[in-house]
A and B are shown apart, each in its own frame.
Chain A
């Protein structure tokens, strides 16, 4: 653990994955009114350092964390690039797609093409791209209502996502899900949940299935993993803790990805979450070791760092070593939703994070390391605009669902609609459904 002084105050470099593993056997036996007893001099030294730092800076309120992922590398100083040109271009394309798509959503919403609750991801692209572009098609992703970009990173076609947002029948959920409920059986996106915290146990279930397939059904190749994405607010919901416990208990191939953007609507993370013992601020990643899994903090505005951390977590999970908790420090450039006036966040905070925009960061990296030329980058951006504009055109021109679609897909077994007057099952009556439900 190191404590550095940054330009605007002390910053905290949290532990890397491997050193967190070493740090597990700490036990704090608390006696009320007295400081915690620890067995390790390393911990004592660290606490002393930090309390000294705190004493030197009274009244510091803002969370200032410059996070480093393992292995520790200053990206621009190194000569060898961390990724190949193909990977870099894929990452860049995906982040720009996420950004342009979300910005287009904002435009469409204010033009009345989209309605209801829409929560945009602008600014957080590095987390979605950094984690999901490492996954295979058979890996699962679960998210909350801020799920458009997770679906896009998982390869759900932009056309289908946009049409879904417009409420058209060509949408990925035929207009029945909407912004907050993106599902794709083909790409294994298991939602899209409005209730934060609800998705995490569902994600554990998909990971459970992967392990069950190997242990019980005898499929030795079964090593798919599941990533659940959620925010800092979710980390106070009971289902989060229940899930941490069970993921570690059952050693599930599941990765908890906390997108800590410091705000849950208008509630600051600092006001909502208690501080972890011995810290100035609440640290979510530290809750991992309490449940028996590594907890890692990463700079969520740097896609390459996120990718490094995610890579290690995914490989751990595939090897059968169990779950990981990743806390990505990130920021949403827009309000909680398109209806949020976003009055509580300070201009200074927004400006600070705008400077760390992940897309220009990656662009700079690619140019400096010769991973792409200016022309190639412009080509990628042009391609994205083409895809996004095409998706809007497609959504506009697509038909709305017919009224008959209302009753479809309530049950997989259409017999669930009961028995008709003549004694036959209702689904057997002609014209009951246009045949989307499959009877097993």
Chain B
């Protein structure tokens, strides 16, 4: 099942399950979704539940948040997470903080979703990764699926969750197909928020990643296996809350860790993992936690420069070898 179909089926099932759930965003209806994630939903559920909005990020995000305060369960789509910067006031000041400001009276069961991170050749204003920004905000849950199982399970869990969830998808992964078990296809299949998954067990080095980079890590692991380096690959799935216990358990096995992310290095997800491992498992570390990140530049347009600005499989292999 492709990630696109996984997301589509999850939305379909959740819209059918609870009539308080509705989808809104630009092009989600008649256009069938800018990236076709909401294909067929308008035809099935009608324009009252799949709403096309004007180009009004702050406005429609605010409407979604306000309606969530009043009892509905919106799924607010951003065409890309870059555009959500126009709505970040509503995401953080309204959605994330209101339960706290109202001391538990008014919660916000909303899901903000859309493609995050770099695509291909879309340049600086369409390529930013927002995982670290949103994961620093108390009151938000931040999820980043990798494969179809993640996409289905995490999106369904997010929609059923009573808190605001930032759901960071990846455009390149939309078209990728992954095997799924019948359990994943069950209409009540959800994954726990806050639990990472060990994708591949190993004993020499732990690779920690999320979203598209998990795929790169798995490929790097195959390359490294040929040289006798047995790598354990962890898919975070949930950036906030971060499953540090799974990471520590892995570190106790391998004693070496490399984090891999697409985003910028300063204050990135890797920085947080590194600090946590140092604080909670210092004696388990045989080497510093290494971070493989995107380059500290706005994304360039030229294809070769773009490739140089993002982590490649070779970069991951090199990083692992330097401490293996």
Excluding A140-B70, A198-B94, A217-B19, 6 further A-B contacts by CB distance (< 8 Å) are: A209-B70, A210-B70, A216-B22, A239-B58, A245-B54, A412-B99
B323 in contact (CB, < 8 A): no
Dominant SS among interface residues on chain B: loop
Contact A201 B66 (CB under 8 A): yes
Residue in chain A with minimal CB distance to B55:
A242
**Option from B20, B62, B195 in Cβ contact (under 8 Å) with A243:** B62
B243 in contact (CB, < 8 A): yes
**Please, what's the 1-or-0 string for B263-281, where 1 marks a CB less than 8 Å from any CB in chain A?**
0000000000000000000
Contact B61 A201 (CB under 8 A): yes
Residue in chain B with minimal CB distance to A188:
B70
A296 to B59, CA, bound (A): 23
- Which of A114-122, A172-180, A305-313 is the contact stretch? A172-180
Contact B93 A436 (CB under 8 A): no
By a CB distance below 8 angstroms, the chain A residues around B93 are: 193-195, 198
A325 to B192, CA, bound (A): 45
Q: A198-B90, A205-B69, A409-B99 are in contact. Are A419 and B245 (CB under 8 A)?
A: yes
**Separation in Å of the A93 CB from the closest CB of chain B?**
26
By a CB distance below 8 angstroms, the chain A residues around B241 are: 416-419
Interface residues of A in 132-149 (CB under 8 A from B): 140, 142
Contact A216 B66 (CB under 8 A): no
A48 in contact (CB, < 8 A): no
A11 in contact (CB, < 8 A): no
Scoring B58, B89, B109, B245 by chain A CB atoms within 10 A of each residue's CB, the highest score goes to B58
A440 in contact (CB, < 8 A): yes
How many A residues are at the interface, by size bracket?
35 or more
By a CB distance below 8 angstroms, the chain A residues around B60 are: 201, 242, 246
B170 in contact (CB, < 8 A): no
By a CB distance below 8 angstroms, the chain A residues around B192 are: 415
Q: A183-B105, A183-B106, A246-B54 are in contact. Are A202 and B62 (CB under 8 A)?
A: yes
**Option from A245, A413, A420 in Cβ contact (under 8 Å) with B56:** A245
Closest 6 CB pairs of A and B: A205-B66, A201-B62, A242-B59, A418-B241, A183-B102, A202-B66
By a CB distance below 8 angstroms, the chain B residues around A174 are: 103-104
**Separation in Å of the B109 CB from the closest CB of chain A?**
8
A179 to B112, CA, bound (A): 29
A423 in contact (CB, < 8 A): yes
**Please, what's the 1-or-0 string for A397-420, where 1 marks a CB less than 8 Å from any CB in chain B?**
000000000001111110111111
Contact B59 A243 (CB under 8 A): yes
A438 to B107, CA, bound (A): 10
A264 in contact (CB, < 8 A): no
B141 in contact (CB, < 8 A): yes
A249 to B194, CA, bound (A): 39
A432 in contact (CB, < 8 A): no
B288 in contact (CB, < 8 A): no
B29 in contact (CB, < 8 A): no
A193 to B242, CA, bound (A): 30
B284 in contact (CB, < 8 A): no
Contact A185 B72 (CB under 8 A): no
A204 to B70, CA, bound (A): 11
By a CB distance below 8 angstroms, the chain B residues around A193 are: 93-94
Contact A206 B67 (CB under 8 A): yes
A246 to B51, CA, bound (A): 12
B119 in contact (CB, < 8 A): no
> 27 A-B residue contacts at CB 8 Å?
A176-B100, A177-B102, A185-B106, A186-B105, A190-B106, A198-B94, A201-B61, A202-B66, A202-B94, A204-B66, A206-B67, A206-B70, A208-B70, A209-B67, A212-B22, A216-B19, A246-B56, A408-B103, A409-B103, A410-B99, A410-B138, A412-B104, A413-B163, A418-B241, A418-B244, A438-B104, A440-B162
Contact B72 A212 (CB under 8 A): yes
How many A-B contacts are there with CB distance less than 8 Å?
A: 182
**Separation in Å of the A144 CB from the closest CB of chain B?**
12
Q: A204-B66, A205-B62 are in contact. Are A183 and B242 (CB under 8 A)?
A: no
B68 in contact (CB, < 8 A): yes
Contact A204 B162 (CB under 8 A): no
By a CB distance below 8 angstroms, the chain B residues around A412 are: 99, 104, 107, 109, 162-163
**Separation in Å of the B191 CB from the closest CB of chain A?**
13
Q: A183-B101, A418-B241 are in contact. Are A205 and B89 (CB under 8 A)?
A: no
**Please, what's the 1-or-0 string for B80-101, where 1 marks a CB less than 8 Å from any CB in chain A?**
0000000001100110001111
B125 in contact (CB, < 8 A): no
**Separation in Å of the B281 CB from the closest CB of chain A?**
11
Q: A181-B101, A242-B56 are in contact. Are A204 and B63 (CB under 8 A)?
A: yes
B203 in contact (CB, < 8 A): no
B222 in contact (CB, < 8 A): no
A411 to B100, CA, bound (A): 8
By a CB distance below 8 angstroms, the chain B residues around A239 are: 58-59, 62
A198 to B69, CA, bound (A): 14
Residue in chain A with minimal CB distance to B49:
A216
By a CB distance below 8 angstroms, the chain A residues around B68 are: 205
Contact A249 B103 (CB under 8 A): no
Scoring B22, B54, B106 by chain A CB atoms within 10 A of each residue's CB, the highest score goes to B106
**Option from A192, A200, A207, A418 in Cβ contact (under 8 Å) with B101:** A192
By a CB distance below 8 angstroms, the chain B residues around A236 are: none
By a CB distance below 8 angstroms, the chain A residues around B69 are: 190, 202, 205-206
**Option from A185, A206, A217, A437 in Cβ contact (under 8 Å) with B102:** A185
Residue in chain A with minimal CB distance to B109:
A412
Residue in chain A with minimal CB distance to B67:
A205
B75 in contact (CB, < 8 A): no
Q: A415-B193, A416-B193 are in contact. Are A437 and B101 (CB under 8 A)?
A: no
By a CB distance below 8 angstroms, the chain B residues around A413 are: 161-163
By a CB distance below 8 angstroms, the chain A residues around B64 are: 205
**Separation in Å of the A222 CB from the closest CB of chain B?**
11
B176 in contact (CB, < 8 A): no
B48 in contact (CB, < 8 A): yes
**Please, what's the 1-or-0 string for B191-215, where 1 marks a CB less than 8 Å from any CB in chain A?**
0111100000000000000000000
Contact B66 A206 (CB under 8 A): yes
Contact A208 B67 (CB under 8 A): yes
A415 to B67, CA, bound (A): 24
